[in-house]
Amino acid sequence: MRAIPQATPREKKLSEDLALATAENARISDEHARVAAQLGDGRTEFKLLREKMDALLQRIFGAESEKLDAAQLLLMLQGFDTPGKSPEPVAAEAPRRSTAASPPRECGPRLIKHRHCDARTASRRRGPAPFSRKRRSIS
């Protein structure tokens, strides 16, 4: 009889890695099943909410709210008896755009020059300060 050879350190390491990978695969499969169940629950809830929303919209804007009474139906049918008119401009209506020539535009971009305010330029200000801390008596 032959003796079974001992596993080398590399083979031992590979078998340990295989056992870890198998356990990790089982954990990931369980997590996948849990997430798939949550997704199914979410889809079911979405479908129920969509149906509730459709029912509410039907109740608010549905066929009952769009009923025509006899006067509306007659008014609509009267429009079919007379031939349609072509739209004509109204003489009293003012033109929407001015017919006068617009002034010439300036060439080049408009630049706004900013003046930086710091300790050096604060002393060069002209005119009164925008806010004064001095108290003034009101008479």
Q: Measured between alpha carbons, how far is 134 from 16 in angstroms, rounded to an integer?
A: 83
pTM assigned to the model: 0.36
Half-sphere exposure of 97 (CA within 13 A, CB side): 3
**Residue 123 pLDDT more than 60?**
no
pLDDT value at 103 more than 90: no
Q: Which of 8-17, 61-70, 84-93 has the lowest mean pLDDT?
A: 84-93
pLDDT given for residue 74 in this prediction: 75
Torsion (CA) 48, 49, 55, 56 in degrees, nearest 10: 160
In the chain, what are the domain boundaries? 8-79
Amino acid at residue number 37: A
Give residue 72's pLDDT: 75
pLDDT 10s digits, 21-79: 999 999 999 999 999 999 999 999 999 999 999 988 888 887 666 676 777 777 777 76
Structure tokens at 104: 């010439």
Is the distance from CB of 116 to CB of 110 less than 8 angstroms? no
Residue 96's pLDDT is what?
67
